[in-house]
Structure 1
């Protein structure tokens, strides 16, 4: 399964927000960007925790 690039999706949402002429579409895109960035942060946390657990296991 391919990893999702949350930051790329956030950047795309930002581009769509910047290109939008409708206020409601712009706001929707900015909310999407914020959500993608939260998911990117969670993904980073999970990956860091996984790497730390694996490093701890290798020390045993």
Structure 2
């Protein structure tokens, strides 16, 4: 896969994840009532699942 193709695919994944709010995260597929360790206490900058999990490369 070419670098250009990877960039396009990553952009597509981000656009898809932008459609979902942080409340839509699935933490445990076998127990949908489970929440992440931080529960709903997430930073205000998290606006969608596109930036829910982020590392240094996201900024």
TM-score, with structure 1 as normaliser? 0.33
Return the structure number with greater relative CO, CA threshold 8 A, min gap 6.
2
- Select the structure of larger CA radius of gyration: 1
TM-score, with structure 2 as normaliser? 0.33
Q: Greater helix percent: which structure?
A: 1
